[in-house]
Amino acid sequence: MPDVNRDMDAELARAVASFWRTRRRQGASQGRDSGKRDAGSRTAVTGGRQLDGLIRLVRKWVAQAGLPGAAVVGKGAALPGYFRPTKVWDLLVIADSHLIASLEFKSHIGPSFGNNFNNRIEEALGSATDLWTAHREGAFSESVRPWLGYFMLLEDTRRSAGPVVVRSPHFAPFAGFENSSYARRYELFCQRLVRERLYDAACLILSPADRGMRGVYSVPNGEISPARLKASLMGRVAEFAAIKTPPKVRRP
């Protein structure tokens, strides 16, 4: 019997290596023709497509869940919003005019973690609030409650792993944030996204830039692991497939 977890680890390692290779390639090639380059690490960021390997892997998981005819949309994956006209997601699963799942993929690479961390948090919270309100108001026709997922790849470096002072002069921050690293803050954030039921599953993986080229990554918390996200997503897709499959008629 094949080792499913081992296969998934190997697939994730290849996707992580693809992320770092694509990032390095884009950083080296940007401005080669025009002579214009972005400052610092933004050279690689503005190239896009670094997360395509992870997105392809999740598409594969959806295909394995057994829902024939499902459309897994990447490019142009826009959904109507309630607080804005539309929001473009990284991946949508649609079947029989039902929105089955929507996923967001993000990465956070140094050297800047402070302001960008807050931007990631606000964006994820706003996107979830917008989607659930739009769903409540009937934006997705008669769709069952869609599944919502969040996938974050964080660079594993001294700046993301070191303690950060919290400046809150008027009121004390919640326990767990004081002197916590950005890696720990992302862990708490992803965990709370799920526990507060804003997202059905969230995943955080850490990967160092140097060894990440060889597919090295780590999972800081089993509650927000790739395995949990995969099981939750495939379970929802399989559940919808079972509902849409007509029962077999027993003939006398």
Q: Read off the tokens for 118.
A: 């807050």
pTM of the entire predicted model: 0.86
Mean pLDDT calculated for residue range 196-201: 98
Tell me the pLDDT tens digit for each residue of 169-183. 999 999 889 889 999
**What residues have CB less than 8 Å from 223, skipping those under 6 apart?**
191, 194
Whole-angstrom distance, CA of residue 71 vs CA of residue 162: 42
User: Which residue type occupies 193?
Assistant: L
Average pLDDT over residues 202-207: 98
Q: What is the pLDDT of residues 83-107, one digit of tens each?
A: 999 999 999 999 888 899 999 999 9
Q: Give the DSSP H/E element, type plus range, for residue 24.
A: helix 4-29
User: Which strands, in side-by-side order, build the sheet including 91-95?
Assistant: 71-73, 91-95, 98-108, 147-155, 201-207
For residue 30, name the pLDDT band (cuts at 50, 70, 90): low
**Of 28-32, 57-61, 130-134, 223-227, where does mean pLDDT reach its minimum?**
28-32
Write down the residue that tokens 């998934």 correspond to. 8
Strand 201-207 versus strand 147-155 pairing type: parallel
